[in-house]
Structure 1
């Protein structure tokens, strides 16, 4: 669901302030109704006690899981505001819970979701749904830039290796930066060298969870930036942080989402 990220502020805020912004925007009277931590995704449902309205949010789950979590079994019924300080935690599990809870609150009555352009999701057997975002932007990624008497293809960089992404190489050229590189992927440390010369940068919102997003945005100031994925908070202020387009999700069926997360 790509969406222009909204109005920019007069002065560009510090990139590390992203986490404070999310906390401020997610402050509410909502309480935690359900927490599900699956292997791939952490899902949270919240409830507004005054209206009974429900909200659902996700975050990428930690790749290394703790065997002993001191707060396990204590989150249901807690105020969301009690968990928002975890947005700045260096404990991966706490951060995942806080982002999912914030996303659940931000999903409620959010006009950005209604204004976004829905992207048809192809059959899973053919291509992963994440690829729909790249296909949406493909016509612009195939454009060339005039360089004197010559034309040059757009430099497109994708943060993270998405399943099935190589199927799109026939549509446009791109480089991949990946923490666990495969084939011709660049390692994560290459971001400092590759991103400043990119025309388009697609950043997985999971970088918000692992605290690399501020640095990635600082390197992508010359590019058209797309922040994408279920971890992405729907905030109008992203433009002030250098994000030009948002591609997030809207949860339609929390029970189905929960079952998928529990089954891996």
Structure 2
């Protein structure tokens, strides 16, 4: 059965030349995912060399436990036989199979080599992961790319040997779980569901999210009972498909990240990107025509000269810069929009934007939202059905820019 909340299974292979094995890259990516709360399993390799350039050892490290296993036979300096230890490799299969059984978020297999090409090595474990829908990341030498395609039946994706390529492959469908995992301790002191906006106040900040339309056919979430609950618990709502619970979840996550003392740029998100000839804006922001006169605008209810939501599939792949309304996070279109423009500079803008650096790895270059300066005034405004412009009277503009971003 297909789980609508589960990201599609991934099969990826980092392509590398013989003299540049991506072992350190794989290990760094495993550490990054593990630090963000994702369950990782499997093995990454470390090859050690002596001063003369000869291999002195090959080790596999279990990314889940840190346990190390040597897989190199000591054959002597004059031997021309393969130095790979079959017994050590067989021992490495056990943690791989445990990880597959546990349905980890990503399984690391050190590489697809000639042994796997021949059906030996860890080939059986790779095929088992694919059979069970467990996402798999490995490395393949350039000389074996065609064999890798045959092994995966063409379902595998070839990846560049850099961190940005790995994050693009991992994909923005994981962004929601990443945001939830980033919510720490603290309870909701106040939750207000207004006509236009939802506000969640935590111990150190206030988060906002756009209230879903009352006509939404699945908007049946039971309101009330949210105050006093942990922010992390409320944030789990963004992993479901009920629009009201999802919006409360986003506001709860923002209450943790959009902290009162957050250091950020005092810049409007609409001004955060240069305005190249090929700029696309998703969402009809007020005053947009004067601010960005040359931008192409996509909106669910397009006005004169604007495009409908369906045009995103044609317009975004051509864009150099994209501004996306933060409501795309709540209505679950954000992942699709980010996938359509993987090489554009993208700004996520609006009161519901999470001021969390962890969004940067998913293709967002700038995130621009609000930090409350007058909690009681903001609460009154939300309860009275205030619009986005009215909220700004009780907040300060706050913008975070990816330090790795290059115009």
TM-score normalised to structure 2 length? 0.51
Moved more, 235-244 or 8-17: 8-17
Equivalent positions of 1:213-232 (< 5 A) are 213-232=334-353
Report the alpha carbon displacement of residue 168 of structure 1 after superposing the two structures with TM: 2.9
> SS state of the match for residue 35, structure 1?
strand
Give the equivalent residue in structure 2 for 1:162. 285
Distance in 1, Cα, partners of 2:374 & 2:366? 25
**What is the Cα-based RMSD across aligned positions, in Å?**
2.3
Give the equivalent residue in structure 2 for 1:78. 229
**Contact 2:191–2:226 (Cα < 8 Å) also in 1:** yes
- Of 178, 200, 209 in structure 2, the residue corresponding to residue 44 of structure 1 is 200
Report the alpha carbon displacement of residue 165 of structure 1 after superposing the two structures with TM: 1.6
**Contact 2:269–2:367 (Cα < 8 Å) also in 1:** no
Whether 1:19 aligns to 2:183 is no
Moved more, 216-225 or 185-194: 216-225
Report the alpha carbon displacement of residue 89 of structure 1 after superposing the two structures with TM: 1.3
Q: 1:64 to 1:70 in 2, by over 3 A?
A: closer
> What are structure 2's unaligned runs of at least 5 residues?
1-28, 33-162, 386-407
- Of 244, 247, 252 in structure 1, the residue corresponding to residue 365 of structure 2 is 244
Report the alpha carbon displacement of residue 250 of structure 1 after superposing the two structures with TM: 1.1
**Number of corresponding residues:** 220
Report the alpha carbon displacement of residue 66 of structure 1 after superposing the two structures with TM: 7.7
Distance in 2, Cα, partners of 1:59 & 1:102? 10
Higher normalized contact order (CA 8 Å, seq sep 6+, divided by chain length): 1
> SS state of the match for residue 249, structure 1?
strand
TM-score normalised to structure 1 length? 0.77
> SS state of the match for residue 248, structure 1?
strand
Whether 1:118 aligns to 2:237 is no
**Contact 1:59–1:206 (Cα < 8 Å) also in 2:** yes
Report the alpha carbon displacement of residue 90 of structure 1 after superposing the two structures with TM: 0.9
Q: 1:55 to 1:228 in 2, by over 3 A?
A: same
Give the equivalent residue in structure 2 for 1:149. none
Q: 1:69 to 1:239 in 2, by over 3 A?
A: closer
Distance in 2, Cα, partners of 1:212 & 1:80? 24
Give the equivalent residue in structure 2 for 1:259. 380
Distance in 1, Cα, partners of 2:245 & 2:221? 11
Larger Rg: 2
Distance in 2, Cα, partners of 1:70 & 1:92? 8
Distance in 2, Cα, partners of 1:173 & 1:66? 33
